[in-house]
Structure 1
């Protein structure tokens, strides 16, 4: 193997190159020439533009079309070459064409991702070439990459996230049912019925004329029993302090009424009690 170093390249160095080897001792028989290698020295023509028909990220196994177009097409047909950063030689060479050329990359893989550019050049001597176009980045995403980067980092999938949401909803529902039962769970038959009056108990006693009737009425109007259940006591605590609860003794009322009917009619004073 031999290496040939070419330094300080100029546009005149453009063209096809071949190599061969031969014996140093007689008979000096040489080999057949190698395949030709076209060397292009860029910079003689204005740079073209490179565009992709697909925008954004390309999925693996899809087809990608890149179009290289030159700005000045006043001279003869030229050849177009597609370049990739890091590659020692053009990816594709196609032509001839006057204005533009499409390069199709079929069934792309992750290895096809990278920065691409293109040039155009003359097909014969002096093989002048244009400046390379601006780089165009191609990103290829594998089909197996379905999870987003954040989900992949945390290790939480769609199923796990759904279960977490269901658990939170069930917890909230349970708290609501417990709260509702504690507020409204008391049986209505345990509530004691009491009459309410806006007047003070002292005012009630003084508004009635003294006599036998007052004794009966005092027997009829009794305070509510302190043995009320807790739910009733809680509801009373919420009432204003000016409200008085009482329980009517219907038996004492009937007895007082019968005694009044037996006695002769006398002058009576009536008082209205606000219930």
Structure 2
């Protein structure tokens, strides 16, 4: 028996976008000259000709169609968090908007990707281990069929060990205080030298006595 298949656009859309009357288990729907307005959530349903009027199958899983000249920026988060106990491991999740993407993790100061993952999910998890974890990271993704069409890079994410930030801040303050003290000592020496020079100059100019 033949089957009717339809393609519905968006969730809650009552009117089908396209129909196909086929005799096989497969139907293909073509969207020609796709525009930005055609981006959205797509699903399909089918019905058999011997079913009652208005009776259709359940909807398929929703397919997201993204129409854009550039892939959106992914997010990058640390699990369990960006501040670690010394020697602990951390997982960085780079998340886009669509499944089936290829993800790359970068570290500031390193030109090539640290890790590269092909994922069937809309995200990929990168594991960083132990002492090598601290640093500043970012990620991007692309479709497997177009590896040179890259998304925007994520915002940078800083990974650090507990106490490393505060100790660095304290050390910086000590250095600044030491430099300030050195400057004050140098200024004091210059002022003292100038005062002694002026005192010696005035001491040599004694008034001469009038001789009769």
TM-score by length of 1: 0.33
Higher helix share: 1
Which structure has the bigger radius of gyration? 1
TM-score by length of 2: 0.41
Higher strand share: 2
